[in-house]
Structure 1
Amino acid sequence: MNQYEEYKLLIQRLISGNFAQATQQERDKTVMAIIHASAVTSTALSIIPVPMVETPVQITMVRAIGKVYEQDLDEKIVLEILSVVGGNYLLRQLLRLIPYVGWAVNLSRVYATTWAMGAAAEYYFKHDREVEKEELMKVFKTVLKQKTQEKEKDMTDRRVIERLEELKGLLDKKLITQEEYDRKREAIIEEL
């Protein structure tokens, strides 16, 4: 089964709400797919310089995770999940109003924030909504830090690969010597 078919099956299962007989492994896999799709979608939407443009995706993500755990989203859940992200989320939204400020950093933060919201929601539902706010905050902050670091490392790795490819292109076009290539390649690798 390819990734498209897996997502199609996931969406059909979400629409039908058929998770009563799901194993924990099936729920975990479904929740990870929901969080991943939501984080990617939120990141893509965040390119638009409009505050809170990804919020509907994040709310839908929380509702979908709740559905996996056979729970409906009510006002209490929305307030608890949103209170976890609080000031961090609002500050990032306000920064969008200033053109070009932290744009690239914002992309990784949107991804990480959405993922952390999903992880906190999963934790909340997995524990039958019997979770202290501090506990939820800890889950959110831990995952936020982890995903931010992962994204930043991923972006750094991509930049290194791009620089090495550009350098190889210069060598192939004979614009630099093999010696220059080796020296510059080593310098790029040492930056890691």
Structure 2
Amino acid sequence: MVRTAVTRRRPLCSVHPDDKERLNEILNDFKSSARAVQPAAHRLKPRTPIVIASSIRGFSCWLYEQKKQGIVVRPHDRSLDEDAELYRSTRKRKRITGHLAYLRNFMLGTSAPELSRPRLAAYPDDETLIQKAVAAAKADIVNGTPWQGFRTPPDINRVASRLRGFSEWLKTHAKSAIAGRLDDPSLQEDRETYLRVKDSSRAAT
């Protein structure tokens, strides 16, 4: 009697219901944008966006299996960072943190994913504040009442990027977030220190 080997495919996991409506759309846009980056030298390798998309879907599946919230409903929340770290350590998915950063930056809408794209990690509360301000400023442009100094979307995106950089610096230097102390003199002092550090860094290069 000849026995034939039967290979059983592992069933594909289900993307988290929280992500089902939007995640595929976002990832498809991500891949298209990555292919369109100019100049071509700044593009990710052809397979990299596909690998990133697959990695993100796998993470979404794992979140569903673990009965945790999905990605799209909390893209910039600290709890997602914690879950990504747990996923990385338990499933040996070392690149998930970087892949998640690419997705987050793309969802912010500042530009297409690039090879050398900076990954700014603002405080979650600051990120929420920045996103709300960006949405309001862009809406006022559409309504014909732009904020002073913010006449085009690129103007808004540049300032938002600077704010994220400032928030990231605050976080890495164990200082409080921007949100919650907008009227606190200490925030202005930290901003001046941050700008001095940046100027010193530029002068040294």
Normalised by the size of structure 2, how large is the TM-score?
Answer: 0.30
Greater helix share, structure number: 1
Normalised by the size of structure 1, how large is the TM-score?
Answer: 0.32
